[in-house]
Structure 1
Amino acid sequence: MRKVYLGNHQIISPLGFTSLQNLESVSQGISAIKKHKSSHVGEYYAGHISTNLLDEAFLELGKVEEYTKLEKMMILAVAEVLQQHSEISKDKIAFIIATTKGNIDTLSEENLFSKEKAKLPALAKTLQEFFNLKETPIIVSNACISGGLGVSVAKKMIENESYDHAIVVGGDLVSEFTLTGFNSFQALAKEICKPFSKDRTGINIGEAAAALWVTSVKPKIDAVQIIGEATANDANHISGPSRTGEGLYISIQNAVREADIESHEIDFISAHGTATIFNDEMEAIAFNRAGLKNTPLNSLKAYYGHTLGVSALLELIFTQESLLQNKVFKSLGFKEKGTTKALNVITKTEEKPLNITLKTASGFGGCNFAMLLKKETV
């Protein structure tokens, strides 16, 4: 079986339009989440990308009026990753799109774009035409594990020698649909969210896009290899997580089995950590069942909000960089243990020797995802 590596990447978010800007902001403890007001939900906290700044950045690539906000975000991310591999024919690269709701904002009466753009195949077609791709990109839309699952799909395609390389791009928006939906669950926090903390009250929504190069070619500098991945669905409830953490536990166990390691070899966990009462409790139970209660862990949701379908991809990029930089990022918002099971939540951004890391995610319908990364030094 061929080895599969993670390569260069790009993040488009309220914290910046490059991965470097995002990494620096998180290192400094800066949150993208601000107070906003909506006629539908009143005051809310979320991470919005400035439309003016986005349009200014997009001008070099195309006409801003011809593309939706999400399309511009995704195109900016993919263009930067592709630029680093201009010598490779695009016909040799698999393109995978990960999103939960795509251009859902086009269904709004105020939106000037065709409502046909709300269909996910239309999003894929737009990216295909913009980048002049021979084949239509593959769409992965499986709730909040979509971004991670997109990388799993890329890994399998490379292992099976269907492609040598892949670009996984993910993106989602803060929209009327998502805001009113989570508000109906009484799940929106009235402050910056606090994952795993005793005083957590719910989630913030965020918007971002991210693109990641996945390849069979080992980088000439320090490399990050995918050594194990798995997904499992416990079908617990359409929106509520399992009370036993079953699906997440099975995902972790299967990823560990593929990687042929023991759980104590995992140096760090990038958790889903949405800051809802039920999700964080579920994760704590699953991590304890997997023998990981003492493993350092964080959540990035207080920096970005829950970016839905791109969250696992964005956070996987941070996990990759944690390995390469031997650095763990503070779990912003955490004050005091807020789960019935013990967790080792990171309270300070600092350097730490890392060799193997675990990224996990969970989503509506009982879906769960786990991916193990390992550093290979030159």
Structure 2
Amino acid sequence: MRKVYLGNHQIISPLGFSSKENIDAVKQGKSAMQNYTSPIIGAYIAGKILEKNLQEHFKPLAKNEAYTKLEKMMILAVAEVLQSHQEIKKEKIAFIIATTKGNIDALAEENPFSKKRAKLSQLAKTLQQYFGFSTPPILVSNACISGGLAVSVAKKLIQNKTYDHAVVVGGDLVSEFTLTGFHSFQALAKNICQPFSKERTGINIGEAAAAVWVTSVKPKEKPIQIIGEATANDANHISGPSRTGEGLFLSVEKALQEANILTSEIDYISAHGTATLFNDEMESIAFHRLGLQNTPLNSFKAYYGHTLGASALLELIFSHVSLQENMVFKSLGYTSQGTSKTLNMITKTAHQPLQIALKTASGFGGCNFAILLKKETE
């Protein structure tokens, strides 16, 4: 089977407008969370990109007023990734977009753009035209596993030799629509979220765009291969996860089968870790069922908030970085065990030998996703 690798990447977030800025911020333990007020739900905490900063970085690329906030974020991320591969013809590159709500802010009365801009197909068309791709992008919108699932689609297209390369981008916004939805569930935290911790009270919402190069060509430096991935739906509830972790369990189990490795070979887990009572409990049960309770594990939600369709992709990039740098990042916000099953939480950013990493994600509708990365050594 054709090997598939992760290549260069770019993260656009409140913590920075490049992967390097974001990695440095996380190493320093910085959180993007700030206090805001909504006329509908009142005070809340979220991670937002300042419009003036976004406009400043976007100005060299095109007119700010021609593109929505999300489009500018995604264009910035993809432009940087493609910059390193200018010699490759666009028809050789699959373009895959992951999002849950897209330009949802276009539906607001005060928004200057047409409400048609809120259609995901319109978002895809806008990005296609900007970058000059000859074929329409592939849209992946499957709740909070969208970013990871988009990488899975890229991997399969490359393995099947439909394409040699792919650029995958994921992005979502902090919007009144999303905030009021989670507020109605009483799931918004009143402070910076605390994944897997006893004191956790719910999630923070964040916004970000992340892009990554997926390729059949082995990178010259520190190659990271995708060795297995899978998705499974537990069909438990429209918003509540399975109490037994069945969907997540099956996803990881299938990914392990494809990779032909044992759970004991996994050195690190980047969990979904939303800091809601039911999600974190479900994950702890699934990881115990898999025999992964002693594997070092973290969540990035206290750094970025839950960035929805971008979250799995953004956090996969950090898994990539962890393997390349032999570094695990502190699970920000964790203080004490808050799940019925114990987990080996990472409480300090530190260097340690890593060979294989597992990234998982779960979302509304019972969807679950797992992907395994391996560092190739010379």
- TM-score (normalised: structure 1): 1.00
Structure 1 gaps, min length 5: none
CA distance in 2, matches of 1:41, 1:27: 33
2:143 partner SS: coil
Q: Which amino acid aligns with 1:215?
A: T
CA distance in 2, matches of 1:325, 1:50: 30
How big is the shift at 1:316? 0.1
Q: How many residues are aligned here?
A: 378
How big is the shift at 1:328? 0.1
How big is the shift at 1:133? 1.0
1:246-265 → structure 2 map (5 Å cutoff)? 246-265=246-265
How big is the shift at 1:132? 1.1
How big is the shift at 1:90? 1.0
Structure 1 counterpart of 2:304: 304
Structure 1 counterpart of 2:207: 207
1:142-161 → structure 2 map (5 Å cutoff)? 142-161=142-161
Structure 1 counterpart of 2:25: 25
Structure 2 counterpart of 1:191: 191
Give yes or no for contact 1:46–1:174 (8 Å, CA) kept in 2: yes
Structure 1 counterpart of 2:174: 174
CA distance in 2, matches of 1:59, 1:25: 24
How big is the shift at 1:265? 0.4
Structure 2 counterpart of 1:280: 280
Structure 2 counterpart of 1:339: 339
Instruction: Verify: 1:90 aligned to 2:90, yes or no.
Output: yes
Structure 1 counterpart of 2:125: 125
Q: Which amino acid aligns with 1:219?
A: P
Give yes or no for contact 1:221–1:377 (8 Å, CA) kept in 2: no
How big is the shift at 1:91? 1.1
How big is the shift at 1:262? 0.5
1:212-231 → structure 2 map (5 Å cutoff)? 212-231=212-231
2:144 partner SS: coil
CA distance in 1, matches of 2:194, 2:60: 38
Identity score, percent: 73
Structure 2 counterpart of 1:365: 365
CA distance in 2, matches of 1:309, 1:191: 22
1:145 partner SS: helix
Structure 1 counterpart of 2:71: 71
1:15 partner SS: coil
CA distance in 2, matches of 1:180, 1:266: 38
Structure 2 counterpart of 1:375: 375
**Which deviations, in whole Å up to 9, do the C-alpha atoms of 1:99-154 show, x marking residues without a partner?**
00000000001101000011000000000110111011100000000000000000
1:144 partner SS: helix
How big is the shift at 1:377? 2.2
Structure 1 counterpart of 2:266: 266
CA distance in 1, matches of 2:271, 2:145: 12
Structure 2 counterpart of 1:11: 11
Structure 1 counterpart of 2:100: 100
Structure 2 counterpart of 1:43: 43
CA distance in 2, matches of 1:314, 1:15: 12
CA distance in 2, matches of 1:40, 1:105: 15
1:43 partner SS: strand
CA distance in 1, matches of 2:377, 2:184: 48
Q: Which amino acid aligns with 2:284?
A: A
CA distance in 2, matches of 1:345, 1:41: 33
User: Where do 4+ consecutive residues of structure 1 move more than 4 Å?
Assistant: none
Q: Which amino acid aligns with 1:30?
A: K
**Which deviations, in whole Å up to 9, do the C-alpha atoms of 1:45-98 show, x marking residues without a partner?**
000001000001001000000000000000000000000000101111000000
Q: Which amino acid aligns with 2:343?
A: L
1:20 partner SS: helix
Q: Which amino acid aligns with 1:246?
A: E
Q: Which amino acid aligns with 2:156?
A: K
- TM-score (normalised: structure 2): 1.00
